[in-house]
Amino acid sequence: MNDTKNVTEFVRLLVKSISKKTFQQARLYNKRNKAYAISQLRARPVKIKEGYKISVISRTDTQDFTKNYTEEEFIEHVKEQLTEHFFIAEFLTNQYKYFLTIYPNGKSKLRHKVSDQKTSLSLEHNAIKNRFIKAENNEYLRLLNITGANYTVKNKSQDKFKQINKYVEIIHDILKKKNLEDGAKIVDMGSGKGYLTFALYDYFQTYRKQTPLITGIEMRPELVNQCNEIAQKCGYDMLRFKCKMIQEVEDDAIDMLIALHACDTATDDAIFKGIKANAKIILCAPCCHKQVRKRMNPTNIMAKISEHGILKERQAEILTDTIRAMILEAHGYKTRVFEFISTSHTPKNVLIVGLQEESRKEPDLNKMKEIQTLKDMWGISFHYLERLVQNN
């Protein structure tokens, strides 16, 4: 028997928050039917020419669809989605965060907690406050399709724009601890479409009043050509993109090395290039952890974790990145590993940062022994990055 009391109360609270303009954002997820194309809905209030609306992003595996609803239309849409398509919903106000869980047997649970977001969300469609990267009159953002012709951030690019600013904010904090001189050499390994690469150049020029030499390394020639054309159009003379594999890069003078979401061992290739080049700063966001996962074969009690695929996968991620951080430490870097952006924006949200404290020709043997102990515990024959530095 369906329990509609909590669902009705959840909707009532949502209506109340919207009418009082305390509504900040909402999310519906955990599909009832795997065949349903939409994996989640995300909503937030916006103020456009037509007035106050609720902007809803419907996310599939391949793309996002955005539609603006009136308050009444949005509530009806939420009711329909909760009835037919999703088990979990949550929304945030200035004071509280509400969670609704609907179970397959029809029962439900409603709970709330005090929100840690006390400030009101601006209703401007492209409202950006205190961000290093500005959308207004920013040509490379328009050419990268982040903004439209009027330099307003597109609905489908809101998350990407937030990610760009979050990356730059992190780099800004890093540079407080490890400063780079004007003309520093920065390499972005696996630069892709160049979102962060361009933003970094913008940040250094606009905020720091410096002009570093920034190079994006990307294996897809069409993206390299596109990014070089945009850099030329924007007059970014010290920003360039090269068509290469990360392994092919030969450079012994890198001040900052960045590798965001380089797949599996490509992250290790990038870290190795940074260590080899004596980089002052190494920053990477790992993606995929297949190499260690395939070689995990513990013979002790840890084997119980390996019995479950999802737990083995998560443990492989932890081990891979732990050893990466330890190898950096063994080579004279002070490391931090932390979550840098919400999983609602990207599931790959771990950042490894290494700041050089000393230049070492040989790694710290005690640290390498600790790595070997960790490998033995989990039955790992080798870690790809470890092999790279050993064979250097």
The model's pLDDT over 342-361, given as tens digits with 9 standing for 90+, comes to 544 444 578 999 999 999 98
Of 99, 97, 119, 96, the C-alpha closest to 108 is 99
**CATH code, domain carrying 191:** 3.40.50.150
Do 343 and 380 lie in a common domain? yes
Instruction: Give the pLDDT band (50/70/90) at residue 309.
Output: confident
Do 167 and 233 lie in a common domain? yes
Is 275 a domain residue? no
The pLDDT score that the predictor gives to residue 217 is 95
Residue 87 has pLDDT above 90, yes or no: yes
Do 195 and 237 lie in a common domain? yes
Do 110 and 157 lie in a common domain? no
Instruction: Give the pLDDT band (50/70/90) at residue 123.
Output: low
pLDDT tens-place string over residues 53-67: 999 998 887 667 788
How far is residue 85's CA from residue 103's CA, in Å, rounded to a whole number? 12
Instruction: Give the pLDDT band (50/70/90) at residue 106.
Output: confident
Instruction: Give the pLDDT band (50/70/90) at residue 293.
Output: confident
**Which residue in the block uniquely carries the two structure tokens 């209506």?**
15
> Between 154 and 61, whose confidence is greater?
154
The pLDDT score that the predictor gives to residue 189 is 95
Is 250 a domain residue? no
Please count the structural domains in the chain. Answer: 3
Do 72 and 171 lie in a common domain? no
Q: Are 285 and 271 within 8 A, CB to CB?
A: no
pLDDT tens-place string over residues 236-280: 999 999 999 999 998 778 999 999 888 878 899 999 999 999 999
CB atoms within 10 A of CB 6: 16
How far is residue 203's CA from residue 171's CA, in Å, rounded to a whole number? 10
The pLDDT score that the predictor gives to residue 116 is 61
The pLDDT score that the predictor gives to residue 352 is 94
Is 185 a domain residue? yes
The whole-number average pLDDT for the span 154-168 is 89
Tell me the pTM: 0.66
The pLDDT score that the predictor gives to residue 361 is 87
Is 252 a domain residue? no
Do 140 and 106 lie in a common domain? no
The whole-number average pLDDT for the span 102-118 is 83
The average confidence (pLDDT) of the chain is: 88
The pLDDT score that the predictor gives to residue 127 is 43
**Which residue in the block uniquely carries the two structure tokens 């977001």?**
117
Do 66 and 108 lie in a common domain? yes
Instruction: Give the pLDDT band (50/70/90) at residue 1.
Output: very low
Q: Which of 50-54, 153-157, 210-214 has the highest mean pLDDT?
A: 210-214
What domain range includes position 320?
283-392
302: Cα separation from own chain's centroid: 30
Q: Which two tokens stand for residue 93?
A: 């106000």
Q: Which two tokens stand for residue 61?
A: 């595996």
Is 122 a domain residue? no
Residue 118 has pLDDT above 80, yes or no: no
The pLDDT score that the predictor gives to residue 119 is 47
Do 134 and 239 lie in a common domain? yes
Q: Which two tokens stand for residue 265?
A: 């061992």
Q: Which of 114-128, 166-180, 344-358 has the highest mean pLDDT?
A: 166-180
The whole-number average pLDDT for the span 2-26 is 90
Residue 111 bridge partners (DSSP): 99
Domain end: 57, 82, 114, which one?
Answer: 114
Alpha-carbon distance values, 185 to 182, 204, 220, 251, 357 (Å): 9, 12, 22, 10, 18
Domain end: 244, 260, 275, which one?
Answer: 244
Is 121 a domain residue? no
The pLDDT score that the predictor gives to residue 56 is 92
How far is residue 191's CA from residue 260's CA, in Å, rounded to a whole number? 8
The pLDDT score that the predictor gives to residue 94 is 85
The whole-number average pLDDT for the span 182-201 is 95
Domain end: 114, 146, 174, which one?
Answer: 114
